[in-house]
Amino acid sequence: MNTLWIISELFPPDETSTAFILGEIANVMASKYEVRVICGPEIYDKRKKTDPNNKFVLNSEIEVTHVKGVDLDKNTFFGKAMRFAVISRQLYQSAKRSIKEGDKVLLVTNPAPVVALISRLRKRRVFELNILVHDVFPENTKPAGLKLPSWAYQFLKNLFDKAYSRADQLIAIGRDMKQVLEQKVGRFEHKPKTIVIENWADLDIVSPMEQSMNPDKVVLEYAGNIGRVQGLQSMVEYIKAVGNNELEFHLWGTGAEENSLKEYVQRNGMNNVVFHGAYLRSKQSEVINSCDLALVTLTEGMFGLGVPSKTYNIMAAGKAILFIGEPNSEIGLLVKEKNIGYVFEPSDREGIIKFVSSLSSEKCAEFKEMGQRARKEAEKEYAKDIILNKFVEAI
């Protein structure tokens, strides 16, 4: 059997969504290749609790090499930058020692510097390079509010455009991302094949349940990373401006923007915004099902730069989606094409406020119909076996 190397900072037993995705891909690819993994430390964020109900089992024939990394707070700019630099170098050094000519490589774009380093190795050594793109760097620094000097941004963009062009295949997780990647490599003589393989819905652990966090209110819920590119500050401000007494906004998760949001809510005496903190992956079904309407957001400027994987499990739970982001992004198109929710541009302040103001118990029947359609679409198009088979066929 040929050897397939999977290179990713995140991998089981870590419990982030990326780790689970890569673990499942490794398992299915083991039927076709001798799979070897080079990844970061076993636990990405030691500050988080591990899930005692985690049932993921990695194929025992898969050999995993963990590099040491560095234990710094990922929610600070310094901590994140240092982690990226150190672990990228460690992953590269391990790959340099291990990958042989004729091998196949599946590389994930996190941390970003490893893409440039492995592409440089690809220039000197003949192996098949497939890049699974979860984040597009450095374009994603702008919507994240990281203001690089123009010369530095252009230098990095040229560097990473060239790095992507050296791949044999780019795997985007959305149609909008495919467009961005094709533009990145369009000026180079060698243009890698670019395909779309979406994330999947965990239909085996997430299913519709009849429950609500507060049956007397319309519960709008956000569950996931409370970070810089989610634009949650604007949603909290809209809820304050509207003053809809029938609405509650519940947030599950942690992240860089969590404390500033809590301070805003406390400062403005908002008792209809509730923070629940981190939750275990095994509790996903209960968490998602505790709402009437699920919020998915991407701040302005994120077209083609990321696809919120949470969307597919929201569909698995049979919940309607309120998507605030680029209408022609993958999730915007999905919600509109399947009629499973509502789509607003981040700049449409008037439209969002009007919608938030209209939320009442009368809309719950409409939410339920949309949610039922969402579950059917998840079963038909985004089941794990369907998506994983795309990887088997593509690599």
Q: Given a cut of 60, is residue 50 above it in pLDDT?
A: yes
Report helix, strand or coil for 28. helix
User: How many angstroms separate the CA atoms of 221 and 223, rounded?
Assistant: 6
Inside any domain, residue 359: yes
- Strands in 193-196's sheet, in edge-to-edge order, are 63-66, 34-39, 3-8, 104-108, 128-133, 169-172, 193-196
Do residue 34 and residue 126 come from a single domain?
yes
275: which strand partners? Answer: 251
Domain end point (choices 147, 163, 197): 197
Domain extent at residue 234: 218-381
Quick: pLDDT tens for 214-226. 778 999 999 999 9
Inter-CA distances, 32 with 15, 58, 318, 391, Å: 25, 15, 34, 11
Do residue 8 and residue 138 come from a single domain?
yes
Inside any domain, residue 388: no
Q: For position 289, which CATH number holds?
A: 3.40.50.2000
Preceding amide of 12 cis, omega within 30: no
What percentage of the chain reaches a pLDDT higher than 90?
A: 80
Q: For 35-49, 263-277, 327-341, which range has the lowest pLDDT when averaged over its residues? A: 35-49
The pLDDT value recorded for residue 305 is: 94
The pLDDT value recorded for residue 1 is: 81
Do residue 174 and residue 226 come from a single domain?
no
Inside any domain, residue 104: yes
Quick: pLDDT tens for 341-389. 999 999 999 999 999 999 999 999 999 999 999 999 999 999 999 999 9
Smallest CA-to-CA distance from 183 within 144, 136, 150, 140 is with 136
Domain end point (choices 133, 168, 197): 197
Inside any domain, residue 370: yes
The pLDDT value recorded for residue 346 is: 93
Inter-CA distances, 206 with 19, 71, 183, 316, Å: 18, 32, 36, 6
Q: For the purposes of burial, counting CB atoms within 10 Å of the CB of 337, is it exposed (0-12), middle (13-18) or buried (19 or more)?
A: exposed
Do residue 326 and residue 235 come from a single domain?
yes
Do residue 375 and residue 255 come from a single domain?
yes
Torsion of CA 169, 99, 123, 19, to 10 degrees: 40
User: How many angstroms separate the CA atoms of 83 and 73, rounded?
Assistant: 9
Inside any domain, residue 306: yes
Q: How many domains does the chain have?
A: 2
Helices (H) and strands (E) in the chain, counts: 13, 13
Smallest CA-to-CA distance from 35 within 47, 49, 45, 22 is with 22
Inside any domain, residue 365: yes
Torsion of CA 324, 330, 334, 335, to 10 degrees: 0
Inside any domain, residue 390: no
Residue spans of beta strands (DSSP E) within 144-279: 169-172, 193-196, 218-223, 247-252, 273-277
- H/E element, 108: strand 104-108
Q: What is the DSSP letter of 100?
A: -
Q: Given a cut of 90, is residue 170 above it in pLDDT?
A: yes
User: How many angstroms separate the CA atoms of 111 and 114, rounded?
Assistant: 6
Inside any domain, residue 213: no
Do residue 193 and residue 229 come from a single domain?
no
